[in-house]
Amino acid sequence: MLDKAVAGRSPWQDARARFLRNRAAVVSLALLVLITLACIAGPWLLPNAFDSTDWNATSAPPTLENWHLFGTDDTGRDLLVRCLIGGRVSLMIGALATLTSVTLGIVWGATAGFVGGRVDNAMMRIVDMMYAIPYLLIAILMVTLLGREFYLVVVTITIFSWMDMARVVRGQTLSIRSKEYVEAARAIGVPTSRISIIMRHVVPNLLGIVAIYTTVTVPAVILTESVLSFLGLGVQEPMTSWGVLIQDGVGVMEASPWILLFPAALLSVTLYCINFVSDGLRDALDPKDR
């Protein structure tokens, strides 16, 4: 009888298999992809423009007529298209702000944790000082001085969303820098500069925890953008976001509840999906569950 060789699986393949066994995470990921694709392609496929008005159908309830499936707002603009455009803006801000804040947090935290000593102490005191600054104050100042521009919203959110990542990465780096493979890298003669060792040996071993915290950061960033837009500090008309649409819907929710219901539902479903995906990644990448 011939023995069959059993092919081993890499840690990433094992994590993928455990993630796929989590039905809530898989369904949430599929729904999140569907919402993202709808926000990207939907406005191009629908006949109504997000800024065109229909004065004969102001505050109209959802109807199949003229493809007003979500109804219209108080100026006759199609709410379905505006929800998709708003989702595109909110998701884009969430992705860009998360990417920049995660990158900054990784670089800052890995450098502080690996170098250590006075450099670590000084860098982390800067992080503590950033925590003490209220982000709404900075947001108001930036909007007042520079205006309500898309990139300013991204910059404002980024300034106050990288500190948690920096703290997490620093803590992991303090543990990793004393591992045997880092000492072995130094012993066998690889480039001995700290930046080289950080990029080649420390950062790759942080990818699991970084992936988890990235999925946690995305909903926090989207929610922050929605809060800023709700307070009038977000994107400027005629461009919109889910936060702007919710702000518009609050003022007319008694007479036209659908103007609030649909953008709030899309925002809530998106945040829930991201949280379920985050939980799935956390369970899949947790070495204790292997």
Q: For the segment 225-250, what is each residue's pLDDT rounded down to a tens digit?
A: 888 888 777 787 778 889 889 988 88
Residue predicted with more confidence, 140 or 33: 33
The token duo for 136 is 């709404």
At 118, which amino acid appears? R
| Higher-scoring residue by pLDDT: 149, 124 | 124
Cα–Cα distance, 157 to 252 (Å, whole number):
29
Would you place residue 194 in the very low, low, confident or very high pLDDT band (cuts 50, 70, 90)?
A: low
Mapped onto helix, strand or coil, the DSSP state of residue 55 is coil
136-157: pLDDT as tens digits: 777 778 777 777 777 888 888 8
Terminal alpha carbon distance of the chain = 31
Per-residue burial over 111-131, b if 16 or more Cβ lie within 10 Å, else e, is bbbbbeeeebeebbeebeeee
Which residue in 101, 155, 160, 103 sits closest to 130, CA to CA?
160
What CA–CA distance (Å, rounded) separates 39 from 42? 6
On whether the CB atoms of residues 119 and 112 are closer than 8 A, the answer is: yes
pLDDT at position 79 over 80: yes
Domain ranges within the chain, ordered by starting residue: 34-42+82-289
Burial (CB count <10 Å: 0-12, 13-18, 19+), residue 46: middle
- Give Cβ neighbours of residue 72 (< 8 Å, ≥ 6 apart): 54, 57, 58, 59, 60, 78, 79
Neighbours of 140 (CB within 10 A): 16
**Contact between 189 and 242 (Cβ < 8 Å):** no
Phi and psi at 261, nearest 5°, equal -65, -50
Higher per-residue pLDDT: 205 or 156: 156
Query: What is the phi/psi pair of residue 78, to 5°?
Result: -65, 125
Model confidence at 3, pLDDT cuts 50, 70, 90, reads very low
Question: Are 115 and 212 spatial neighbours (Cβ–Cβ below 8 Å)?
Answer: no
Residues 6+ apart with CB under 8 A from 21: none
Residue identified by tokens 């991204």 is 154
Q: Which two tokens stand for residue 126?
A: 């800067």
- List the structure tokens of 117: 């000593």
pTM beyond 0.85 = no
Cβ atoms of 224 and 233 within 8 Å: the answer is: no
> Which neighbouring-strand residues pair with 78?
72
DSSP letter for 201, please: I
- Give the rounded percent of residues in the chain with a pLDDT score beyond 70: 84
Cα–Cα distance measured from residue 36 to residue 31, given in angstroms and rounded to the nearest whole number: 9
CATH topology of domain 34-42+82-289: MetI-like fold (1.10.3720)
